[in-house]
Structure formats: C-alpha cells, structure tokens
C-alpha cells in the first residue's frame, strides 16, 4: 500500500484535468481507520508553482464552507512535491447516475423527490453564496459548475454539492490568472455562456436546469456540439415545464420558471432563496412523505447487492468537465474541434484543465444516453415507497394526533390563498433538525417556512448531543412567527 503521510492511498476512482481522485483511509493509533477521498494534483502540474497555488486555493475555499449539504474538506497537505486535498467519504451515487438508473429501470421519480433534492442542493449553494471571510465580510463563492454530476446522494439520505474546486471569490483577485470559469455547457446560465459577469443567481439558473430535467426526464439544452448548445443557452428559450411533463404541480412549475428567468435580477437571488421556495412548496403540497425521501429512493434503486464495498471499482471515470477562459469572467464548455469558432462567438475559449468533481467512493459510469428527451415509456412504473413496518420505529414520534401515511392522497394543488398559512422562522442552540408531522423541515436556522394556521407541534433533535424537545408554536395567518429554542438544558 502507498501512504501519503497518515493516509493510506487506495484505488483511483476518477481522473480528469489537473487532478485524480483516490479512495483512501485515514490511519490512526490502535487500528483506527476512516474512509476518505483524496484529490491528488497530477505529476505534470505538481512542479508548477502557479497550478500548485490554485490547488491550495481550492482547498482553502472549500474548507471554509461548512454545511451539511456541501462535501467537506478535511485536510490539505503535501508529500514531497505531491499536493493533495482530503475530502469526506460519501457512500452513494451522483445524481446523474441516479437519474440514469431510474430511467433504465423504468422508475418514475416523483416531482416531490426532484424538489427535495434541489432544495437540499440549494441549501448547500446558499451556504457558499453567503460565505464570509475571517473578518466577517461577505465574500460570496460561486460554484460555476452545478450539474447532476456534482450533486451527490448518499445511501443514508444526504444530498451534497461537490467540487467548489475553482470557484472564484467575488472579492478575491488571486483565485485564477484570468477569471477562470468552468461549467458543463448544457447547465450554464445565459450570462455564463456569453462570458458576462456572474452572481449567485447564475448558480440558481444551473440548479433550475437540473430541476427542469428531472421533471421533464430529458435534456433542456441539447445539440450536436458545444457551440450549438451554448448558442441555445445564451438565448435561454425554455419550454414551460408543464408543456413537456405531465403532473407537474402549478406551484412547482412557477418556481422552475422563476429559477430559469433570462435576467439574473428576475431569478431567486441565491441558493437559499431558491431552497426556501422549494421548501414551502413541499410543505403545501399534499403527498406521501416517503415520495420525497432520498434514502428510501436510493434503497429502492440500489439494493445491497449493488453497493460494492469501497475501493473495488478501479475503472477511471470519464470526466464530463471542461473549462473556458475569459479575461473578465469566464464561461465553459466541453473541448471540441469547434473551439476556434467558439472563441470568436463567446470571447475567448481555451481548455486549461478539467477537474474530477466526484467525491464518491464507487459509482457506475454515467451512461449518458439513457436520459433522452421524449415521452416516458408506457412500461414506466411509478415509484412507490414501501410501507413502514412499525409506526413507533419512525425517527420522529408524533406525540399528538396520529398521521395516517397509508391514506390515498389526491394530487391537487393547495392554493396559498385558500389555505390559511403563516410563516415560521426558528433557530436552536445548539443546532437541530426540525420535524413537523413526521416530516423533516430542515436544519436550524430555518427561515420563513410555511405552516398551517393554529397551534402546531414541532420536534427538534440534535443527534450529536442526543437532545430532543417537542414545542408548540402558534402560527398566525399571513404573519411571521419567530422562535429560538435552547436545547442545552434538555437532558
């Protein structure tokens, strides 16, 4: 076995651009081991001070974003001339693989599942968009490469954004030589495709494309070349999701439309705002909780027999990532023979490096062709979560009325005007997961979540301390209630 300091290096699981991804183990005293991923700068770049500096900057940026929906950077070090980043281990699959697997099995992904995944991903982006420097000043980090390949779903139900690799701090000038930007052509925003100035709303557009495609079960921007795709992206001529996909709730369609607005100022302004909109939709839409569960869906798609132990797959994963440069702010596309023409039309396009963006230990190759536009097969099945064996075994025990999960739900939109609702903003010390009617609302702090009017029971849990508390909050129509819960006194 090869060691990098205290890390035992395992099989290479991804390769592309300037770095390779390896499965590894953190080794400690008395046989202690922890699975991790290690990103190694490739030999041809390791001796280049400029590339080494960019690699170090990648680690500094990513390590500063602390959020449950962002792949965490654990360490940055060097062994001789070899620089490497240590990332947390995510046992699961990327969203691209999940979509393709569902398509191959003829499984229909519920609209609420798509909303749930993008809501969680939006929270991770929101943490980056509100990144603050050590002095407290706001220094937003843009991802610039949001796509299904960079959204990871774990078998335990987590959703995480991966690879803030060469994202650029708005207030920093040393991140790249010329304002480098990367992104897969079909997931770029119009301003990104044209090499214009970016802001957090650009990442919102990219995540909006992901949501549109999950609902439509087809590509939004496609073409015979990256040049053709970029031309479509720059015009942002987007079909209404309701016209290409059946059964999309009106409220969700409105959220998609706003996320994909042509002008940046007309979109949700950052990942958090987009996430809150999706969160409110999930709270107002009458559906089975299991339909939005990432863990249940992953278990359904990937049985134990397909969850290979880490390190067993050693095939190199094909990188879909490409980069494009512009002196002010860039845009990107996959390298092709049409790069010269792309330089003329989109300012300056040149491939510098790609980056393997997956922090997964094992997953199948993308199988990109299985996600084609068009109507779903008549043999396509609707995913139905298995019933709970014992209501008392639920993560949350509803101490009030029993929620009948097996009652047939009518797929009808609940009008916000007809339903009397109010807003709740809740925080906790320390942090906590918040549950309402056996449904997790999210992790504190939560802002402006929509709940029915009246006295509502919530459960707060902190798995780290074991603290759990049930509270009753009075929700008033068209008003915001604010609550702070102290969990330190709870035994």
Question: In the predicted model, is pLDDT for residue 49 greater than 50?
Answer: yes
Q: Are residues 142 and 61 in the same domain?
A: no
pLDDT digits (tens, 9 = 90+) for 210-249: 999 999 999 999 888 888 999 999 999 899 999 999 889 9
Q: Confirm if 355 and 16 have CB atoms less than 8 A apart.
A: yes
Please return the burial class of 179, using the count of CB atoms within 10 Å of its CB with bins 0-12, 13-18 and 19+: middle
Burial-class residue 401 by CB neighbours within 10 Å (0-12, 13-18, 19+). exposed
Residues 477 and 439 in one domain: yes
Q: Is 302 domain-assigned? A: yes
Say which CATH number the domain at 33 has. Answer: 3.30.200.20
Query: Where residue 305 falls among pLDDT bands split at 50, 70, 90?
Result: confident
- What residues are labeled active site? 145
> How far apart are the C-alpha atoms of 107 and 92, rounded to whole Å?
18
Provide the number of structural domains found in the chain: 3
Confirm whether 381 is domain-assigned: no
Angle between helices 271-284 and 250-259 (to 10 degrees): 170
- Based on the fold, state whether residues 233 and 143 are members of the same structural domain: yes
| Residue 165 banded pLDDT, cuts 50, 70, 90 | low
- pLDDT value at residue 383: 44
CA distance 188 to 199: 13
Whether 285 has a pLDDT exceeding 80, the answer reads yes
CA atoms within 13 A on the CB side of 424: 30
- pLDDT tens across 374-424, in order? 333 333 444 444 444 443 333 332 333 333 333 333 333 434 433 478 889
Asked if 348 and 470 sit in the same domain, the reply is no
Query: Would you say residue 256 lies in a domain?
Result: yes
- Give whole-number Cα distances, 55 to 46, 103, 144, in Å: 9, 36, 17
Higher local confidence (pLDDT), 355 or 480: 480
pLDDT band at 308 (very low <50, low <70, confident <90, very high): low
Under 8 Å between Cβ of 248 and 242: yes
Same domain, 251 and 276: yes
Q: What is the pLDDT of residue 315?
A: 30
Q: Are 122 and 130 in contact (CB under 8 A)?
A: no
Domain match, 123 and 267 both? yes
pLDDT of 208 > 90? The answer is yes
Looking up residue 155, the CATH number of its domain turns out to be 1.10.510.10
Chain-wide mean pLDDT for the chain? 75
> What's the confidence (pLDDT) of residue 391?
37
Domain of 427 in residue numbering reads as 417-491
User: Same structural domain for residues 284 and 172?
Assistant: yes
Report how far residue 154's alpha carbon sits from residue 90's, in angstroms, rounded to the nearest whole number: 6
pLDDT > 50? residue 325: no
Q: Given 31, 55, 88, which residue is the final one in a domain?
A: 88
């Amino acid at each position: 076995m090869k060691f990098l300091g205290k890390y035992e290096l395992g099989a290479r699981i991804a390769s592309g651009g300037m770095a390779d991804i390896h499965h590894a183990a953190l080794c400690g005293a008395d046989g202690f081991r922890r699975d991790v991923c290690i990103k190694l700068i490739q030999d041809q770049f390791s001796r280049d001070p400029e590339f080494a500096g960019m690699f170090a900057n990648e680690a500094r940026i990513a390590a500063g974003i602390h959020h449950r929906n962002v792949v965490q950077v654990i360490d940055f070090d060097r062994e001789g001339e070899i620089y490497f980043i240590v990332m947390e281990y995510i046992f699961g699959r990327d969203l691209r693989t999940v979509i393709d697997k569902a398509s191959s099995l003829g499984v229909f992904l519920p609209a609420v599942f798509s909303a749930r995944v993008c809501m969680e991903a939006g929270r991770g982006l929101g943490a980056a968009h509100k990144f603050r420097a050590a002095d407290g000043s706001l220094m937003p980090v843009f991802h610039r490469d949001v796509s299904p390949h960079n959204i990871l779903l774990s078998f335990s139900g987590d959703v995480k954004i991966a690879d803030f690799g060469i994202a650029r701090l708005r207030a920093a000038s040393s991140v790249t030589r010329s304002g480098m930007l990367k992104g897969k052509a079909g997931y770029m925003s119009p301003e990104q495709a044209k090499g214009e100035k970016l802001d957090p709303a650009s990442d919102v557009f990219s995540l909006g494309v992901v949501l549109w495609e999950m609902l439509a079960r087809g590509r939004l921007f496609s073409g015979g070349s990256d040049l053709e795709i970029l031309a479509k992206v720059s015009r942002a001529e987007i079909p209404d999701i309701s016209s290409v996909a059946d059964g999309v709730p009106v409220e969700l369609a409105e959220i998609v439309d706003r996320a994909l607005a042509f002008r940046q100022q007309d979109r949700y302004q950052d990942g958090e705002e987009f996430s809150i909109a999706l969160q409110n939709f999930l709270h107002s839409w009458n559906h089975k909780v299991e339909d939005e569960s990432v863990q249940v869906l992953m278990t359904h798609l990937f049985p134990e027999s397909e969850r290979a132990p880490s390190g067993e797959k050693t095939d190199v994963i094909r990188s879909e990532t490409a980069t494009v440069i512009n002196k002010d702010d860039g845009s990107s596309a996959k390298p092709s023979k049409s790069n010269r023409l792309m330089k003329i039309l989109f300012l300056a396009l040149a491939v510098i490096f790609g980056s393997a963006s997956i922090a997964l230990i094992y997953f199948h190759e993308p199988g990109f062709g299985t996600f084609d536009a068009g109507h779903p097969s008549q043999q396509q099945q609707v995913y139905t979560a298995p019933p709970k064996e014992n209501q008392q075994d639920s993560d949350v025990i509803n101490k009030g009325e029993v929620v009948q999960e097996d009652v047939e739900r009518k797929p009808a939109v609940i009008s916000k005007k007809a339903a009397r609702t109010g807003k709740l903003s809740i925080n906790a010390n320390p942090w906590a997961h918040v549950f309402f009617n056996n449904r997790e609302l999210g992790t504190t702090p939560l802002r402006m979540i929509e709940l029915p009017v009246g006295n509502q029971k919530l459960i707060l849990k902190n798995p780290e301390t074991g603290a759990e508390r049930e509270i009753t909050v009075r929700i008033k129509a068209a008003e915001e209630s604010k609550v702070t819960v102290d969990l330190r006194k709870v035994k």
